[in-house]
Structure formats: C-alpha cells, structure tokens
Structure 1
Amino acid sequence: METLDALKYRKAVRKYKKEQIKDTELETILAAGGIAPVGMGDYASIHVTVVQNPEILKKISSAVKAAVPEMNAPDPIYGAPTLVVVSSKPNERMPTIGDFNTGCILENMMIAATDIGVGSIFMLLPVFAFTDPLLVSKLKIPSGFKPLATMALGYSDEPAVSKELKNKFETTILR
C-alpha cells in the first residue's frame, strides 16, 4: 500500500475480531515505531510494553471502567487482542517531549498497521488504569518510566473505507 493510501484508510477501530495478530505483523508495527522521530534521538527515554495476555487485558479494561465511570463502553479497549503501552522517562528540561515522542511513535505504528491490514486505535483512557501498583507491576514498566498513551491492535471487524485526502484545518500560509 502506498503511504497516502495507508493514511486515507487508517481509522480508529472500535470493534475487533478475537483472532490475535501475527508475530511478524507485531514486529513490523513495533519496528515502524522504532524509526519514529524522537527528540534528541533519545530512544532510551522510551519503553514500549505489549500486552497480549487476555487476563491482563481484562484487568486493564476493568481498571479503566473503575477510574472513568462515566465511560459507557462495555469494553474500553474494544475487545482488541493486543494493547501497546508507550512509556517515557520524565525530562525536566523539556517536560512535554515524552508526549510528543509518544504521539510520533504511535502514529508511525498506526500507519504501519493499516498498511499491513491490522486495525488500531490511539487511546489515552487506559493510562488511568495504571495507578494500580499491582497492575503496573504486571506490565513490567521499568522504574522511572511513566505510561503516556496506548494503542489497541487487532483485525478490524469493521469494513475499511477510504477517506478523501483533504485539509480540514483552518490554514494560514505566509509567503
């Protein structure tokens, strides 16, 4: 698939098949995240956790429901068989750089996933589940790292539809 086609077909998937994605697909998606731009090339400030254990996924889903009771989805991770958690070490000099790095990494991963036929959705809500020390210990996030965002992965149970490539923002061009 061409890059612009992957961008046009990428969507927030909220319904997944139960089938787990292939290891080769996961490796490709992770490798795409690994070539994302990261501030000052500090890849050591990033940690990626991949959760495919159904028991842990259920605990995360339950923890999100408890932390955000107003969320009315039956499953806050939409039944996805894989959850990717991106964590970053805090940086005193540039406090928001971890957020930007995480966004770049996850965007690369989502475009790569679309390219190979894997559905995805960027999610912030599961981060609220990571206040439970027992759950965090199951995720094996290294000390000093803070989870910033997550992405669900799986085969979409929704049809792929191409969007029109167009600018939706108010834009000012200064020449």
Structure 2
Amino acid sequence: MEFLDFLKQRRSYRKYTGEPVKKELLDQIVEAGLLAPSGRNIKPEELIVVTDPELLTQLSQCRKAGSQMLEGAGACIIVLGDEDKTDVWVEDCSNVILTMHYMASSLGLGSCWIQGRNRISSTEESTEDYIRNMVDFPKNLRLEALLSIGHIDQTLPSKEVTEELLNKVHTLKY
C-alpha cells in the first residue's frame, strides 16, 4: 500500500471490542514510537504502557470529556516528556504519539490521541496530576497525551483531501 493511501484510510477510533491487545503488538507500537524523530536526538519521552482493565477504567476519567474510550480499550500508552532535557519536549512527544498511532493502524488496530497537557480531569484537577497520582511519575516529567489502543468495533470511511483543505495551501506568500 502506498503511504498516501494508508493516510487516507487511517482514522482515530474511539470504540473498541474490549479484547486485550497482544503484548507482541504493543511492543511493536512502542518500538515504532521510540524510533520517532526527536530534536537533536535528545529523546525526552518516557512511556507507560497500561493494559490493566481496572486502571484503564480509572484513566477514562482523566479528562472531563474525550477520554471515556479508555474504558473499552485493550491498552493505552501514556506519553510523558522530560522538560529538563529540552524545551521542545512537547514536539518530540507529539512525534512519538503520531508514530505509534500510525503503527497501531498498520497493525490493524484502532487508536486515538487523548490530549492530556493543559486539560482538566473529571475530578477538576489537572489531567497531569490525576494521572501522576495513579501511576506515580516524577515531577520533572510532564504529561503530553495518552494513546488509546484496541481492536476496533467499527469501521470508518477513508478520507480524501477536500477543496477546503487544499485552500489552506499557499505558495510563496499568504
């Protein structure tokens, strides 16, 4: 499959079967994320792989809205960045998440980026503090996002580049 065709078929999935994701598949997703580009190859990311259904249910409340799919997911990966290593940890961690999202899709799994940085949990504390209290990560690590992963319970249509999107492209000047 051509990469552009792959991108057209790639979607964010929010409904899963609840079936566990095999460790071998999660290992491949993590490996892909660790191979993502990083400014000056500093690699500030730290990943926490969660497969416990009880913890996934608790994590589904890490935001007021937009994280509930974790309750039915087979796994999630919490992506943290070490802000002491670089001031571009957000960008570097974003590369990691996107690469893992693509890898999950290439393996026939669904996934969805759940933004964590600068978000509020269902308990009115920051999403970062909510998750830190659950999985106990150090203060120098900052939450960027979570990636829900699971066997898809739906099929979404492919996307195409529309005229509206093409109008966002400018040549030489705006």
Identify the TM-score tier after normalising by the shorter chain. Answer: 0.7 to 0.9
Aligned partner of 1:51 in structure 2 is: 50
Select between 11-20 and 163-172 the one with higher mean Cα deviation.
163-172
For 1:150, the aligned partner's letter is L
Aligned partner of 1:10 in structure 2 is: 10
Are residues 1:173 and 2:171 paired?
yes
Across the aligned residues of Structure 1 and Structure 2, the Cα RMSD in angstroms comes to 2.6
Matches within 5 A, 1:78-117: 79-91=72-84, 95=87, 97-117=88-108
> How far, CA to CA, are the matches of 1:131 and 1:141 in structure 2?
10
Matches within 5 A, 1:56-75: 56-64=55-63, 68=64, 71=65, 75=68
Shift in Å, 1:9: 1.3
Aligned partner of 1:129 in structure 2 is: 127
> How far, CA to CA, are the matches of 1:26 and 1:5 in structure 2?
24
Aligned partner of 1:119 in structure 2 is: 110
Shift in Å, 1:162: 2.0
> How far, CA to CA, are the matches of 1:49 and 1:154 in structure 2?
16
Task: Check conservation: 1:120, 1:151, Cα contact below 8 A.
Answer: yes
Task: Check conservation: 1:16, 1:78, Cα contact below 8 A.
Answer: no
- Structure 2: stretches of 5+ with no match in the other structure: 120-125
Aligned partner of 1:164 in structure 2 is: 160
Q: Percent identity?
A: 25
The 3-state SS of whatever aligns with 2:61 is helix
Per-residue deviation, residues 41-73 of structure 1 (Å, max 9, x unmatched) = 012x21011111111112222343xxx2xx3x7
Equivalenced residues, count: 164
For 1:82, the aligned partner's letter is A
Shift in Å, 1:6: 2.2
Matches within 5 A, 1:11-26: 11-26=11-26
Structure having greater relative contact order (Cα 8 Å, sep ≥ 6): 1
Question: Do the aligned partners of residues 40 and 76 (structure 1) sit closer, same or farther apart at CA in structure 2, a change above 3 Å counting?
Answer: same
